[in-house]
Amino acid sequence: MEKFTTHTGIGVPLRQSNVDTDQIIPAVYLKRITRTGFEDALFAAWRKDPAFILNQEPFNAGSVLVAGPDFGTGSSREHAVWALKDYGFKTVLSSRFADIFRGNSGKQGLLAAELAQDDIELIWKELENAPGTAVTVDLVSKTVQCGNIVAPFEIDDYTRWRLLEGLDDIGLTLKHEEDITAFEATRPAFMPKTLPAKLS
Amino acid sequence: MAKTLAEKVWGAHVVRKGDGEGANAQPDLLFIDLHLVHEVTSPQAFEGLRLAGRPLRRPDLTIATEDHNTPTLDIDKPIADLTSRTQIQTLRNNCQEFGVRLHSLGDAEQGIVHVVGPQLGLTQPGMTVVCGDSHTSTHGAFGALAMGIGTSEVEHVMATQTLSLKPFKTMAINVEGTLRPGVSAKDIILAVIAKIGTGGGQGYVLEYRGSAIRALSMEARMTICNMSIEAGARAGLVAPDQTTYDYMFGRPHAPQGGAEWDAAVEYWNTLRSDDDATFDVAVDLDADTLEPFVTWGTNPGQGVSLSAKVPSPGDFGDENAKAAAERALQYMGLEAGTPMKDIRVDTVFLGSCTNSRMEDLRAAADIIRGRTKDPNIRMLVVPGSARVRLEAEAEGLDKVFKDFGAEWRFAGCSMCLGMNPDQLEPGERCASTSNRNFEGRQGKGGRTHLVSPVVAAATAVRGTLSSPSDLDPAPGSAAVRSDAA
């Protein structure tokens, strides 16, 4: 995973709550077996509307998505994170993220930064008044800067550390393989196994 | 120290406690007892293993099925959609390469992953269950800690049989009282979500408690736990009891009689929240006064009683909720103030991991038996698994549905999500027993009202959103099934 320390890019105000992952990427695009190449799928239904924010300059070149509360609800599809990244987004700001989406973002190096809704509203106004305004998201100091606005954001320390270091989760866990093996030896015999199959 | 059920299950699976305390604590490493796999969220994970040269650690705790992409007609022919076919073929190749048990289309155990696990007896009390699918919360009905995960985590479980998980908060959902006729588990969970909102469960594991929950069958408990994710919860569960054990007993992968069964039951009996355990939050719902529930908007929290009217954006104090309601009404093509029961639908979908089990099919069949379908309604009945389909046919339910004019399909996710041939047309309105009414969820431009199986059936009779109590008595309605649950 690529390290994330700080990012500056054009902010995109998405004034909408409950942006579920079916909107971020409709199911029809989940049939692919690759992990990349999902940029065309991002907000595919909404992008058919010429008035949609990503169809307007300079927002189409944005890399900081500023969304309403409850972003990423619904389906667990990690494709939502891949699509945001493939389009060029490095970070999403919201006052509340769905748990699975937040987890998936952390695994893929997309920073999900949680801000107070009041600060989101201020940033929306700034971005709408002066389209193209750059937003800086600094993971070291945990602050967002946009015009004259400076706002703190929340992220759990473990995810922050992994993002700053660009660490691979599986590699970290496999350092504790002995603990896993020891645990496996203590599991009760009545716990089910899928193999061999038993008759219905 | 007194513990909740969720904390007990968590504690029994800690492989390694995270370093640090409080806000700086690292996540615990938890062992995963069962990993369910399907074709959509696994190909990139298998590819990750291959690229890193890592083996699948526990094929014997892993099982796969085909459900999201599969057609529900012509299953004896090659899948027509090439990308779907490739994704299914990729799962088949991966399962063969990594030694994973797979139930393919046409197999008697194929079906929706969350129907198959419990049916085989692989889902048991006190387990940790994961799947790259948010409706994994279904398995919580057994007192298991069951969570949906993303593809990176799927790969992590494949490689290590563990997950790093952050601590959760606990929420008690107390449902006391007795459900009235025509009111079911689906109405309970839709009412819970309307009450706490789509983000209300965020960071929480929900425990459903109270006399109304205890009175529910296992399949009804699965319906409730299934939609925990629709309230944003990490998981949802119900403490196991005799109802759970009766359901488990004799299933292929359940502990077999004698000492093994007794040892399991002794452990399962410890799986309840201690009387003096405290929950971070408690929410109460009155079962006595609950009515059939239905959604009017584009997220599962936008629901009302079926006897109510479409709300007005002005009813919402919060600016975001107001804007969301405005947008939802526009998308749904509804006017504020319209009685829900005046809304005419085009399609009725009975199926999905929420409501596609035997009891769901029986409950719907009991409503339509001896009645006539509204001629303008298209009705799809899609059993959750091939085995449910076989059992339903053995009971003659397929004939009831076909005589009524419904389409009797093969098992799969079907019209719950727009990923296989079963989709709505733009503007088409559907009463659906599934779990998500998001924009475009059932097909681009499709309009979804989430309902229970009996409301779906009554709607198919009348053509407008209806509760069973709105129906005239069916001719020969004395012949109600004597063994109905």
Mean pLDDT (whole number) for A81-100 = 97
Whether the predicted interface score ipTM is above 0.85 = yes
pLDDT digits (tens, 9 = 90+) for B3-19: 999 999 999 999 999 88
Q: Which of A74, A184, A190 comes nearest B438 by C-beta? A: A74
| B87: chain A residues, CB-CB within 8 Å | 31-33
CB contact under 8 A, B34 and A169: no
| A23: chain B residues, CB-CB within 8 Å | 438-440
Helix (DSSP H) and strand (DSSP E) numbers for chain B = 15, 19
CB contact under 8 A, B162 and A180: yes
**Residue among B331, B314, B330 at smallest CA distance from B322:** B314
Amino acid letter for position B382: V
CB A35 within 8 A of CB A85: no
Q: Does the pLDDT of residue B479 top 60, yes or no?
A: no
Quote the pLDDT of residue B23.
Answer: 61
Mean pLDDT (whole number) for B20-42 = 89
pLDDT digits (tens, 9 = 90+) for B148-174: 999 999 999 999 999 999 889 999 999
- For residue B323, give the chain A residue with the closest CA: A16
Q: How confident is the model at residue B28 (pLDDT cuts 50, 70, 90)?
A: very high
CB contact under 8 A, A190 and B255: yes
Q: Which of A158, A187, A192 comes nearest B122 by C-beta? A: A192
Mean pLDDT (whole number) for B35-57 = 97
Q: How confident is the model at residue A140 (pLDDT cuts 50, 70, 90)?
A: very high
Quote the pLDDT of residue B22.
Answer: 66
Computed over every residue of chain A, the mean pLDDT equals 96
Mean pLDDT (whole number) for A108-132 = 97
| B83: chain A residues, CB-CB within 8 Å | 31-32
Beta bridge mates, B350:
B381
Q: How confident is the model at residue B139 (pLDDT cuts 50, 70, 90)?
A: very high
**DSSP secondary structure code for residue B444 in this structure:** T
pLDDT digits (tens, 9 = 90+) for B270-306: 999 999 999 999 999 999 999 999 999 999 999 999 9
What gap in Å lies between CA A80 and CA A41, rounded to an integer?
Answer: 9
pLDDT digits (tens, 9 = 90+) for B390-415: 999 999 999 999 999 999 999 999 99
Q: Which of A18, A172, A188 comes nearest B324 by C-beta? A: A18
CB contact under 8 A, B198 and A194: no
CB contact under 8 A, B161 and A15: no
Mean pLDDT (whole number) for A173-199 = 96
CB contact under 8 A, B29 and A179: yes
| B232: chain A residues, CB-CB within 8 Å | 70, 73, 98-99
| B297: chain A residues, CB-CB within 8 Å | none
CB B153 within 8 A of CB B135: no
Quote the pLDDT of residue A129.
Answer: 97
Chain A with chain B: Cβ pairs closer than 8 A? 216
Residues 6+ apart with CB under 8 A from B73: B409, B410, B421
Give the CA angle between residues A130, A135, A138 to the nearest 5°.
165
Q: Three-class SS of residue A172?
A: helix
pLDDT digits (tens, 9 = 90+) for B346-397: 999 999 999 999 999 999 999 999 999 999 999 999 999 999 999 999 999 9
Computed over every residue of chain B, the mean pLDDT equals 95
Q: How confident is the model at residue B478 (pLDDT cuts 50, 70, 90)?
A: very low
Residues 6+ apart with CB under 8 A from A76: A21, A100, A104, B41, B132, B133, B134, B148, B149, B150
